[in-house]
Structure 1
C-alpha cells in the first residue's frame, strides 16, 4: 500500500523557516530531526509497463508528471536512486501542499521525510609512543578472532564498505595510501567538510578522507588495522579490502537521503559486507534506511549496523537501519582489559613497573624525564583519611619528591590541594579497595592512581629505608584485566525490541574501551566506546566467515553468529543469569565457534510476540555436519526478565532496566538427541508466558534453548512480552511531566484551555495540542469533529485523565521531534475507524516513537484552520479529536485506538451548521471556494 510521509517538524519548517529553527538536535547525537523541505520518494519498480505493454523508465515518468502537475520550480531533485534495492529520488519542495499531489502520482510507492542525523563526537587524548606494544589485542581474544587469524584467515579478498566519517587512509596501520593497490581501495565522499545541519554545503567528490572527526578512522582500524603498531591494534579482518563512504561533514551531521545514497552505492560497488555505525531512533523497522539495508541483505550481502547508545532510555529504543529485517544489529560489550595503561617505573629490582590511571588516555603523564624519590604522607597503609587535612609542619618541601598518598574519606582534589600547598606537584594515589579506573582528578594531570598492592609495595620499600626513584616513561604500556565490567553489556548499549517485537539487537561484540586507529593529525590512536566500535568488529567477523565458507554463506551469517555466540551474563557473579536479550541480543559473537562448530541449529530466533498474539509452539532443527555421531543435550536457560515500565505507572523505565526473576516456562519434546554424521533431527518446543509476571510493567521475557554436545555449546534464543500490548496505554494521561494531565490544548496566552474558547488565528491566537506518547504508535490522527461528539468506541483518554488544571505554560514546540510520518490522505481505509464521523482531518502520523523524560518530554502541534486537503475550516464550533493506535492494533478498528476529545473551539464568522462525515475528502460545512489562509494559520499548518 502506498504511504505518504512528512513529519510535523518538517511541515512547520516548510512554511516558516524561523519556526523550524526552534528545534535543536538531541544531546545523544543520533536522534532524528528532519531536513526542511526535503523528502525521499520511493518509486514502484514493478510499475514499468504502459497499457500497451511497453517498458517505461519509472524515473522519467515520475519527473514528467512532476513537471506536468506542479508549478515551475516547485520541486528540485537532489538525488536519483537507481538500483534493484531502491528506486526513487530525494527531492526538495517549496510548498507542502504539493506533497498531496506527489503521493497521488502513478508509480509512487512511498514518500518519507529526510531525517537529520547528528553523528557521535569523540574526545581524544594524543597518545604516547610506547616502544613495546601491550601484547595481544583483547577484543579479538574475546570473540575468538585471534584463533581464526592464527590459522591464516584474515579476510583476504573480501570487500567491506564502511559508511561513516571517512578514513585517514594515510595512516600506516591502514595501508598508507588510497586506491586499488592499497587497503583502502576506494569509496566516495558524499558531503565534503562543510555540509551543514540544514542540508546545505555538500561538496561531493571521490576522496573520502577523514579530515576532521576520526570516527570512521577508528571504525576502519577495528576492521582492518595491520598488527605490530605501537598499541598492537589488530583489525579483525586486516587483509580484507576496504572502501570508505563519507557521510558526515566536519560538523558531524548527515541525513537519511545521504545514508540511503551511501547504502546503494556501497551495494552497487560490490562490497560483500557493509557496516554503519550510525543510527536513527524510533523503535520501528520501517524507515527508509532500514528498508534499503534489509533489501541489500536479501540480495546476498551482509549489513551490520549499530544498535545505538541509548541504554539510559530503557526498552523499545531500537534504531534504524539496524532495526531492518535481517540486518545484524550489534550491541556493545565491555572490554575484558583496561588499557593500554602506561606505567610507573622504579629502580627497585622487585618492583620494576606497574600500571596507573590518570585523567588522560593512551599517554604518560606530562612530567618528561622526571625521576625522584618518594615521600609518603602517612606511614600507615590502613589510614582512612590520608592527606584529607593540611599536612603537618614537619612535612618537607615536596618539590623534590613524588608524593605517595592513600585513597579514602575525602575527594581526590582535597588530597592534591594539600600536597600542592607543600610545593608538591607529582602525586601517586594508591587505592584502598575502590574501583581501579580513570579517577576524578578534576583535570589535574600530574597525579596517578595505582592499585592497592603496588602502593603498599612502594610504602614498604620507603619505610624500609631503601634508596630508589620513580619515573613515568612513555616507552611501554600494558593491559590490565577489567574485573569490574569486563564481558558485560555496556550500560549505554540500547535496548530493543522493536515496536513490532522484532529481535533487536541481534547479538553483541566488544565495544566498551576499544583502542583503534585515529587520524594522524589528531594523534594516530584513540580509545573510545559504544556500539560504533562493536559493529565493525562483527563486520570483520562476517568477512572471516565469507573468506572461509564463500560468499554464498552471507544469507546464513546472522543465524550462524547468533547460535554460536557466547552468553553474556547480567553480572560477574558466578552463576549469574544471562543479561536480558533485549539488550544483549543472542550473545557475544564468536568467530572461532562459527567457523569450527560442526553443528547447524535453526532457527536462531524464536519470536513469541505478546500474550495477545503469543506463539507458544516452535520447532528447533539440529544437523550434525561432522564425521562422528553426536549426542546433544538440550535445556532451557532463562535470562533476566526486563521490566520496561515503572511499576505502578505507565511511564517508561529508564535504563539500566530492573531484571525480574520470573521466567517463561519451556517444555521440550526431548532433552537428548543422537544424530549420526550428516543427519538431522528436530525438537518440539512449547514456551509459556510466566503466570506470575508483572504484566503492568510490560515485562520482556527472553532466554535460550541450549543445544550442547562434546566441545560445542550452541543455543536458540527467544524473546517476547509477557503482557497484552493491545491493552497497554499509549498516550500519557498523567500530570507528572508538566503538572497538567495530557493531552490538553493551550490557548494563545499560554494557558491550558479548560472551557470553550473562540480563536481568531491572528498572531498567536490559535490552539496548540500537547500530548505525550509513553509507547510508540503506528498511527496517530488529529481531526476536527462536531461539538456534540462523544468519545467513540475505544479507550477514552478523557475518562482516564484527571480534570484539566488551568496552568500557565509557555507555548512552544518542546519535544517536537516526532520521527513519524504526517499523512496527506485523510480518511484512508475502511472498517470501524473510518465510520467515526469527522468534519475533517488536521494531521496524521505513522510510526511515532515514544517520548522520554531526558530530551524529548512531549509533543506540541499547532491546530490550523485549514484541513490537510487544503480546504479552509468553515466558521463554527468543533472539538479536536486525537486518536492513537495501540501497539499491535488494527488501524481499521476504532476499538484499537485511544481517543481524546478537547473542549469546544470556535472559529468566528457567519453562522454555519457543522456537520460530520466519515472522510475529510467528502466533508460538508467546509469552504470549498477559498483555500487561502492567514500567515498565522500557515505558521502552524
Structure 2
C-alpha cells in the first residue's frame, strides 16, 4: 500500500498463521487496496451489541418465587445429571468465556482469580467504561457492573453446595475469562477476533461466546475466524440469537460460523414463584411472578383501578380525583397499551405501592417494573376474579406469606424451544442453529454487588450449557482434535427431537429453530454408533440435491440391527403469502412435509463395520410458493434399545426468486428506495444540494432479504439502463456487469442482512452523503447526477448485471461552493 501511495492507518495487526493473518486499518480507497495481488478480502469492522438477556431477575433470597423449583431441572432434561452421577465433571478441561468478564469474587465461582482457582486466567480487553471507544485493557477480567458473563460462568462452573442447590454442567473445568464488553455498550468484531486468538494461544480446549448480532451470512470476520479455530479441533459454542420474533432468515454472527456449534434455547420446565393468600372469600392461593416474597406484612384490601376486566388501557392515564388513598391497599390493574412503569406511576400518584398487574394474554412472565419493587404480574384468571369480587362489594384482601409461599410453577412452554430463539437457515443455506440447550428461566451466579444469583433467559444461557457438555465430552474422550472435530455431529445425531407445541398432532418444531433438537449429553458421550454427516442440506430448487448419503458405523462390541424411518418436522412458511416480507415469529408451520425414500430400510452392522445409506428427498407439494417454504425433518436409525438421527433441510423454491430490495410503500408511506434531505423529507423530483450546513442528500432503503453485494454508484443523469425497481424508458445496456458505466462508488457493502419490521435500528438502512466525495475520498465535481443502487440476488452471479436488482434516483444537482 505504501508503494502504491495509498493512504492508510494501521490500528491493529494479527499474526496467527492458519487462523488469521491481517490488520485492522483505516483506508482511504478500499477498491484500490482490494486490487493489490495477495489481498484476500477487506471487511468492515462490525459493531456487535452488548449481550442482553430476554428476561432478567435478580434473586432476592431462598424463597424468591422466580427461582426454578427444581434447580437441577436443566440437568435432568439433558442427561447431565446421569453423567454427574458417574463422576464426570469436566476435570482438566479449559474453557474460555468471551463475554463481559466474570465476578470471580462470587464464592460459588471460587472466590478468587488465578492459577489454582476456578477462574484461572484471562484478560480484560476493554475496561469498565468501554462503549466501542478507546479500550483500556487490564490483565484482570473482573466484572461487577454487568453480570452477563458471571451468569454464563455459573452455568458452566457453579460449585455445588450453594443455597440454591445448583451446579455447573462442568464445575471441575477451569475457566479463562476474556472481557470484551464494558459495563454497557457494544464492541467491534476486531476485539472479538483478538479475544478468540488469545483464547487459542492460552490453550483453551473450548471457547464460548454468548453474543452476536443479526447477520444472515457465514462470512463475517468473527464468524470466519471462529470457523477456522473450530476446524483445528477446538469446540466453539456460540449463541444462535434472540431474534425469533423477527422471523426466518435472521441468523446471528458470529454464530453463523460454519464449523462452530450455534446454540438455540429451550425453556426450562419449571419456574420458582411465590403465592399470595386470598382472604374474605374462598379462592386458591394466587401465584405472582417473583423469586422472593414481596416484603409486605399484614393483610391488605384489594382496590381495582377499573371494574371492567376487558379494558385495554387500564391506568394508562391519571386516575380520577375520586380515587381514594391507595397506600394501604393491594391495587389490581390490567396489563395493556402503555408501559408497566406508566401504570405504576399513575397509581403511585394516589399512594399505591403494592400492585398486582393481571395478564391480558401476552404471557405470564417476568416484567419490567422499573423502580417499583412491590409490583408484579399475576395470571389473567386470578386478576379477573379479584376485580369481579371487588366490583361486587365483597371485602376481598391479600397477604404475602414471608415463608412457605414458594411454588414450583410449571412453565406452560417448558420443554419447548424458546419463542425468542432466532430462526435460520442462513442466507447461504447453512444449517443454523445446530442444536438446542436449556436457556429459558435459568438460575445461575451473578456479581456479588448485583445480587449473587439471578434468573436470566436467552440463547446466551443455552450456549455455555453446550460448552459445559463439550467439557464433559472432552473429559471422557480426551481433548484430541479428532474428538473436537466430530463433537457437533455426535451431539446432533443423539439429540432429542422437540415438538412445536404440547398439543397432540402438531408437527415437530422446524429444524430452522430447534436445530437437531435438545442435546442429550449422556447419550452422546456413551454412544457406540457413529452416524455422519449429521446434517443433510438439499438446498433450494435451483440447486436441488435430492440424493443424500450418510453412514452408520458400529464402534461397539456386538452386532446391531437398525430400521431406517422418516420423521418430518413442521415446514416453515417463511414469507407472508403474496408479499415480499418474511413472516414474523413464531413462524407459521405446515404439516405438509417432504417424502424420503431409502436405499435400505433395515440393516445389520457388525463391530467395526460401516453401513452407507442413500436417502432420496422430495420436497412437499401443495404449498403456496410465495411463502418460500423451508421443509425439514429427521431420518431415524433405531432399534428397540437405541436410536440415532440425521437432520435434513431444504427450500421448496428458488432463493434467486426472493426479492431483495423493498420497493413498497408499506413502511414509510412512499415507494422505497427514496431520496431524502437532511431533515428526512422525501424527494421525488430533481433537486440541488449545496453541502453547506445540513444541505446534503441521503437514501432511505430497506432490504426485504439479505444480499451478497449492495452497491451505490454515481452515474450520468442520462444513463441508459432499465432498472428493476423503478421503470425507465431507456434501453438497458445488455451484457455483463462491467458494461454499466459508473462515475464512481459512493458506498459498497458485502453480505448484508435483511431488515426487520421492528423500529429498533434494524428496520431500515440510510445512506448519507454529507460531502461531495466518492468513497475513495476524491471530490465529486459540481454537476448533475443520479445515484444507482444495485443489490445482488442470493445465489446471483456478481459478474452479471441481470442478477442484480436496481434502482435509479431522481436527478441530483451538486452545487458545492468552490
State TM-score, norm by structure 2.
0.84
Distance 1:747 1:428 in 2: 48
**Equivalent position SS for 1:551:** coil
Q: 1:439 to 1:679 in 2, by over 3 A?
A: same
Determine the structure 2 residue equivalent to 1:858: 764
Q: Pick the aligned partner of 2:114 from 170, 179, 182.
A: 179
Counterpart mapping for 1:556-575 below 5 A:
556-575=486-505
**Equivalent position SS for 1:666:** strand
CA deviation profile, 1:407-450 (whole Å, cap 9, x unmatched): 999x999x999x99999998999999997655899947278859
Determine the structure 2 residue equivalent to 1:783: 713
Distance 2:327 2:792 in 1: 70
CA contact (8 A) 2:288 2:377 kept: yes
Structure 1 residue 769 corresponds to structure 2 residue 699 = yes
Q: Pick the aligned partner of 2:294 from 365, 380, 384.
A: 365
Distance 1:755 1:399 in 2: 61
CA contact (8 A) 2:127 2:137 kept: yes
Counterpart mapping for 1:783-932 below 5 A:
783-791=713-721, 796-799=724-727, 832-854=736-758, 855=760, 856-862=762-768, 865-873=772-780, 877-906=784-813
Q: 1:662 to 1:873 in 2, by over 3 A?
A: same
Distance 1:420 1:841 in 2: 57
* CA-CA distance at 1:848 after TM superposition: 1.4
* CA-CA distance at 1:320 after TM superposition: 0.9
Determine the structure 1 residue equivalent to 2:388: none
Determine the structure 1 residue equivalent to 2:447: 519
* CA-CA distance at 1:327 after TM superposition: 0.8
CA contact (8 A) 1:357 1:438 kept: no
Counterpart mapping for 1:75-94 below 5 A:
75-91=9-25, 93=26
Distance 2:713 2:172 in 1: 59
**Equivalent position SS for 1:673:** strand
* CA-CA distance at 1:209 after TM superposition: 0.8
CA contact (8 A) 1:877 1:904 kept: yes
* CA-CA distance at 1:601 after TM superposition: 1.2
Structure 1 residue 229 corresponds to structure 2 residue 136 = no
* CA-CA distance at 1:762 after TM superposition: 4.5
Distance 2:50 2:499 in 1: 30
CA contact (8 A) 1:133 1:476 kept: no
Distance 2:360 2:702 in 1: 47
Structure 1 residue 674 corresponds to structure 2 residue 609 = no
* CA-CA distance at 1:859 after TM superposition: 2.5
Determine the structure 2 residue equivalent to 1:169: 104
Q: Pick the aligned partner of 1:487 from 396, 410, 415.
A: 415
CA deviation profile, 1:543-575 (whole Å, cap 9, x unmatched): 111111111311011111111111111101134
Distance 1:404 1:752 in 2: 48
Distance 2:780 2:373 in 1: 65
Determine the structure 2 residue equivalent to 1:286: 219
* CA-CA distance at 1:403 after TM superposition: 8.8
Q: Pick the aligned partner of 1:498 from 399, 415, 426.
A: 426
Structure 1 residue 620 corresponds to structure 2 residue 555 = no
Q: Which has the larger radius of gyration?
A: 1
Determine the structure 2 residue equivalent to 1:61: none
CA contact (8 A) 1:404 1:430 kept: no
**Equivalent position SS for 1:619:** strand
**Equivalent position SS for 1:186:** strand
CA contact (8 A) 1:135 1:478 kept: no
CA contact (8 A) 1:355 1:478 kept: no
Counterpart mapping for 1:388-467 below 5 A:
443=372, 445=374
Q: 1:474 to 1:109 in 2, by over 3 A?
A: farther
Q: Pick the aligned partner of 2:570 from 611, 615, 640.
A: 640
Distance 2:327 2:774 in 1: 77
Q: Pick the aligned partner of 2:129 from 191, 194, 197.
A: 194
CA deviation profile, 1:893-934 (whole Å, cap 9, x unmatched): 1121112233344557xxxxxxxxxxxxxxxxxxxxxxxxx6
Instruction: Give the number of aligned pairs.
Output: 774
- The farther-off stretch of 844-853 and 873-882 is 873-882
Determine the structure 1 residue equivalent to 2:84: 149
Counterpart mapping for 1:29-44 below 5 A:
none
CA contact (8 A) 2:71 2:443 kept: no
Distance 1:905 1:139 in 2: 60
Determine the structure 2 residue equivalent to 1:215: 148
Determine the structure 1 residue equivalent to 2:321: none
Q: 1:278 to 1:603 in 2, by over 3 A?
A: same
Distance 2:152 2:676 in 1: 47
Distance 2:817 2:184 in 1: 33
Distance 2:681 2:377 in 1: 56
* CA-CA distance at 1:935 after TM superposition: 8.8
**Equivalent position SS for 2:530:** strand
- The farther-off stretch of 592-601 and 130-139 is 130-139
Determine the structure 2 residue equivalent to 1:690: 620
* CA-CA distance at 1:98 after TM superposition: 5.1
CA deviation profile, 1:227-253 (whole Å, cap 9, x unmatched): 121112210001111111111111243
Distance 1:735 1:224 in 2: 51
Distance 1:230 1:253 in 2: 34
CA deviation profile, 1:56-81 (whole Å, cap 9, x unmatched): xxxxxxxxx6599467xx62534544
Determine the structure 1 residue equivalent to 2:44: 113
Q: Pick the aligned partner of 1:554 from 476, 484, 489.
A: 484
**Equivalent position SS for 2:92:** coil
**Equivalent position SS for 2:143:** coil
Distance 1:847 1:559 in 2: 27
Counterpart mapping for 1:316-327 below 5 A:
316-327=249-260
Q: Pick the aligned partner of 2:464 from 501, 511, 536.
A: 536
Q: 1:236 to 1:66 in 2, by over 3 A?
A: farther
Distance 1:675 1:513 in 2: 42
CA contact (8 A) 2:417 2:514 kept: yes
Q: 1:695 to 1:906 in 2, by over 3 A?
A: same
Counterpart mapping for 1:5-44 below 5 A:
none
CA contact (8 A) 1:644 1:700 kept: yes
Q: Pick the aligned partner of 1:127 from 49, 55, 60.
A: 60
CA contact (8 A) 1:842 1:867 kept: yes
Q: Pick the aligned partner of 1:580 from 501, 510, 518.
A: 510
* CA-CA distance at 1:264 after TM superposition: 0.4
Determine the structure 2 residue equivalent to 1:257: 190
* CA-CA distance at 1:180 after TM superposition: 1.0
Distance 1:571 1:488 in 2: 7
- The farther-off stretch of 779-788 and 501-510 is 779-788
Q: Pick the aligned partner of 1:302 from 235, 238, 252.
A: 235
* CA-CA distance at 1:324 after TM superposition: 0.8
Distance 2:357 2:788 in 1: 64
CA deviation profile, 1:440-490 (whole Å, cap 9, x unmatched): 99947278859999x99xxxxxxxxxxxx98623588553332x1001111
Q: 1:733 to 1:334 in 2, by over 3 A?
A: same
